[in-house]
Amino acid sequence: MAFDSGFEKSVAIFGSTGSIGTQSIEVARRHKIKIKALTARGDVDRLEEQIREFSPEVCALLDENKAKELKDRVADTSTKIVGGERSIEELAFEVKCDMFLNSIIGKAGLRPTLAAIESGKNIALANKETLVTAGSIVMQKARDKGVSVLPVDSEHCAIFQCLEGYPAKQVSRLILTASGGPFFGKKRDELVGITPEMALAHPTWNMGKKITIDSATLMNKGFEVIEACHLFDVPVDKIDVVVHRESIIHSMVEYIDNAVLAQMGVPDMRTCIQYALTYPDRYEGLQEKLDLAKVGKMTFAEADKETFVLLDLAYRSMRMGGLIPAVLNGANEEAVYLFLDHKISFTDIMDSVKAVVLGYKNIESPTLEEIEAADIEARAAVRRINGII
């Protein structure tokens, strides 16, 4: 069932035109959740559709010229249109809603998340870069403000559910599952010549371009390891990764008695989006039901950290701490976009990121400003390594 007519809940969706954003819109539509605010980089057509259907109070675009265009197109509505990076951060703080859902791509999601926490909003977090770059700062602020950070990633949503009702001291390890990406089983020499089009063919999940490339390099799984450390306050050496090609088991928790709890379901991001938006209650989902007989069998394998070096680099980055996870994220984000623009090769992503991370001078307890400076420096270093000015 959808929420009954007596249920009232509101959400602000930041990054509403991307993959997670549009699926969040589906969930909100299904359960009649009030959408108070929307943001996007510059997709005017889709934002206009969303404004006309949901009548949000405010809509913000990163691109100020696009904001002016949208303002003209929806002048007959009551929705206020604002533009620019600063306006997105201000909106995150000012909008009145029950839940702030952040599906902005990349490091750009960090300051809006902090602003939303500062104003006391509960967070549904689909932007993993927020915790990768500044996890300690973000989670401490959430604790100080007494707000919840609910994960929208399928793996962390699964772990969150498997941990409910058990004290942290009883946890032996967290086990993140990985699809293995489109190049599972290939060795380094077989990755030479991989094109963006080949890398964007993910075997099980429907996602945006950036995260799909991260899945192909296993960087996404490395980010999820770092994210899990911060979300669940678990040391990195108590987190394992196992390849599970069918993506039916979304992750597992092993307890000190060696019992393992797993969360399962058909791979569909709307499941974890809905879980976060309706928590602590459960309602009928949009995704299809799991038929284990139809699945037939499930397979598991070790992740190949020698070929896909960025997964191992994520573990090393978390152990080093300080600025290094932010450097990892910034370098990777720049390398992925260069690859998508056909300016570097697939293996250049891994080589460039590793070189930048291992060559960076660390600071143990950085400020937010130092983290943002490191992000800029890491991106510039990737371009410099690849001879791109």
- Other CB atoms within a 10 A radius of the CB of residue 283 amount to 16
Q: Compute the average pLDDT of residues 319-344.
A: 98
Of 159-163, 209-213, 249-253, the poorest mean pLDDT is in: 209-213
Domain ranges of the chain: 10-151, 156-310, 321-389
Alpha helices in 95-218 (DSSP H): 110-118, 129-145, 154-163, 196-199, 209-217
Percent of the chain having pLDDT more than 70?
Answer: 97
Report the pLDDT averaged over residues 225-247: 98
Looking at the predicted structure, is the pLDDT value of residue 15 above 80? Answer: yes
With CA atoms as reference, report the closest residue to 13 among 29, 1, 25, 30.
Answer: 25
Mean pLDDT of the region 23-32: 96
Q: With bands split at pLDDT 50, 70 and 90, how would you rate the model's confidence at 99? A: very high
With b for 16 or more beta-carbon neighbours within 10 A and e for fewer, the 287-322 pattern comes to eeeeeeeeeeeeeeeebbbebbbbbbbbbbbbebbb
Measured at the CA of 126, the angle between CA 306 and CA 286, to 5 degrees, comes to 110
119 CB-near residues (< 8 Å, 6+ apart): 92, 93, 94
In the predicted structure, residue 1 carries a pLDDT above the cut 50: no
Is pLDDT of 104 > 80?
yes
Mean pLDDT of 11-22: 97
What was the pLDDT predicted at 32?
Answer: 94
Give the pLDDT of residue 216. Answer: 96
Res 25 pLDDT > 50: yes
Kindly state the percentage of the chain with pLDDT values over 90.
93
| β-bridge partners, 40 | 61
Say whether domain 321-389 belongs to CATH 1.10.1740.10.
yes
pLDDT confidence bin for 375, thresholds 50/70/90: very high
Chain segment 138-179, per-residue pLDDT in tens: 999 999 999 999 999 999 999 999 999 899 899 999 999 999
Assess whether pLDDT exceeds 90 at residue 331.
yes
> Which of 139, 125, 158, 106 shows the shortest CA–CA distance to 11?
125
The CATH code belonging to domain 10-151 is 3.40.50.720
- Provide the pLDDT for residue 8: 78
pLDDT above 90 for 389: no
The pLDDT assigned to 165 comes to 86
Task: List pLDDT tens digits, range 310-327.
Answer: 999 999 999 999 999 999
Give mean pLDDT, residues 274-292.
94
C-beta separation of 384 from 335 below 8 A: no
pLDDT average, residue stretch 251-262: 98
Under 8 Å between Cβ of 346 and 191:
yes
When the pLDDT of each residue in the chain is averaged and rounded to a whole number, the result is 95
> Region 281-300: what's the mean pLDDT?
95
Look at residues 128, 149, 124, 127 and name the one whose alpha carbon lies nearest to residue 278.
Answer: 124
- pLDDT at 205 (0 to 100): 59
pLDDT at 69: 98
Per-residue confidence (pLDDT) for residue 204, from 0 to 100: 63
- State the pLDDT at residue 289: 96
Q: Can you give the pLDDT at residue 44?
A: 98
Q: For residue 82, what pLDDT band results from cuts at 50, 70 and 90?
A: very high
Q: Model-level pTM greater than 0.75?
A: yes
pLDDT at 4: 43
